[in-house]
Amino acid sequence: MRPRSRRALGRLAVAACSLSLLATLAPAAAADGDDRDRHHRAYKRVGYFTQWGVYGRDFQVKDLETSGTAAKLTHINYAFGNVGPDGKCFLDPVPGESDPWADYARPLDAENSVDGVADTAEQPLAGNFNQLRELKARHPGLKALISLGGWSWSTHFSDAARTATSRKAFVSSCIDLYIKGNLPVDGARGGAGAAAGVFDGIDLDWEWPGSAGDTDTVFRPEDKKNFTALVREFRTQLDAHGRQQHRRYELTAFVPTAPAKIDAGFEVRKIMREFDFVNLQGYDFHVSGEKTTAQQSALYARDDFSVDGTVDAWLERGAPARKLVMGMPFYGQGWTGVTGGGNGLGRPAAAPAPATWAAGYEDYKALRKLADSGTYKVYRDRENGHAWLFDGTTLWTYDDPQVLRAKTSYIRDHRLGGAMFWSLDGDTADGELMTAVHRGLNRG
């Protein structure tokens, strides 16, 4: 990753803008303010809701309502939909591969239902999908997208995208299942049109076309051109169905930070014409499996991965700023057995830190408790926009409200498309991180 180049330019632009405003007559200034207000309302605020979070974390769709988060979101990305060995979207009860019980079969009681009414045994749609439908009824402007793939379920994307015939079949299967809502029949659940209207579009989370991802994920050099063709096929079929429904369906993607991965898999100018926006990887720049502690989501970093570097990489390859949505982590990466003293950053570590759900990975709500415990000290690199916790042995790098305020300022200053969060179940019960982002994007 090349050194950052936009920070100084951004500060100069802000200064120049301030001088210009001071020299402008009052009526013109008011008009500029109206433009800013319209832009604020247009910021995307995209949160990933994890299918499996309803189990151990007990994070239900209703929690988005009680925390106040739903009112602050523009989009919910439902993670994830899977692609089978036959190159088609599927929803079968295959452990580790698909979970229709969580998606649409599981009954919710009144206490855990958005509308306060318990699901019945006879209704065709229950589970998370029905709760998303109820949440959208309360927030008519809120959109839900099905995210396809992710790190673990991108296995068969390359095969599905390989030919014109396979692409057509793949896209048709996904639209039939998630957009038309034709779910497999499971007792009283499912059937033709059972989930119609739940999803407002499709989010492609192929990790990664043209370069390595998870251990069993297939990738090929031709993925790059095939991804472009796949995006075009999704756009074509979504538009065709949208004309029948007299509406428009959105198409988005999660895209990488590393320039090598961008160049291996993405014809940026071509695909950006088809996407409504893309969500930039703004985290996991370094992970707990590495032998040295490091930042995972810094706004700026010299000669290292950073949010600013990611934005630069996509802009330089032809992406419009307004279609770039900045990814933000609602979790931290952690190491233990850290030696070398100091503030712990950039020091050798023995292993990923113990955590609630997976070693080296912890939700923000748990890290917030560590920060308040008095055992850990909070360290900040204010110039480069990141924070970490260190107790002398264990280090966690994470984003807190102060870091997110700096990132929302960056979004506004660079006129980006908005903010995305992985994942909503990592926030506090009162939506502390979501509130910080919402307020930051709506500052004058």
Q: Which residues are catalytic?
A: 207
- For residues 288 and 360, the answer to whether their CB atoms sit within 8 Å is yes
**Rounded CA separation 132/424 (Å):** 14
**Rounded CA separation 282/94 (Å):** 31
In which region does residue 415 sit, left (phi positive, over 0), alpha (psi from -120 to 50) or beta (all else)? left
**Rounded CA separation 340/24 (Å):** 55
DSSP string spanning 19-46?
A: HHHHTS-HHHHHHHHHHHHHHHHH-EEE
Q: What's phi and psi for 141, nearest 5 deg?
A: -85, -5
Residue 185 amino acid letter:
V
**Rounded CA separation 118/108 (Å):** 6
Q: Which of 73, 71, 230, 93 is nearest to 156 (CA)?
A: 230
Q: How many CA atoms lie within 13 A of 14 on its CB side?
A: 13
What is the DSSP pairing of strand 331-336 with strand 351-352? Answer: antiparallel
| Opening angle at CA 17, ends 44 and 327, nearest 5 | 25
**Rounded CA separation 123/383 (Å):** 54
- For residues 183 and 194, the answer to whether their CB atoms sit within 8 Å is yes
**Rounded CA separation 241/245 (Å):** 6
DSSP percent split of the chain into helix, strand, coil, nearest 5: 40, 20, 40
Please, where are the H alpha helices in 246-300? 259-265, 268-274
Q: Which of 41, 64, 39, 47 is nearest to 252 (CA)?
A: 47
DSSP string spanning 85-140?
A: TTSSEE----TTT--HIIIII----GGGSTTS-PPPSS-S--HHHHHHHHHHHHST
For 368, other C-beta atoms within 10 Å of its C-beta total: 18
Q: What is the dihedral sign for C-alpha 278, 290, 265, 219? A: negative
**Rounded CA separation 301/31 (Å):** 37
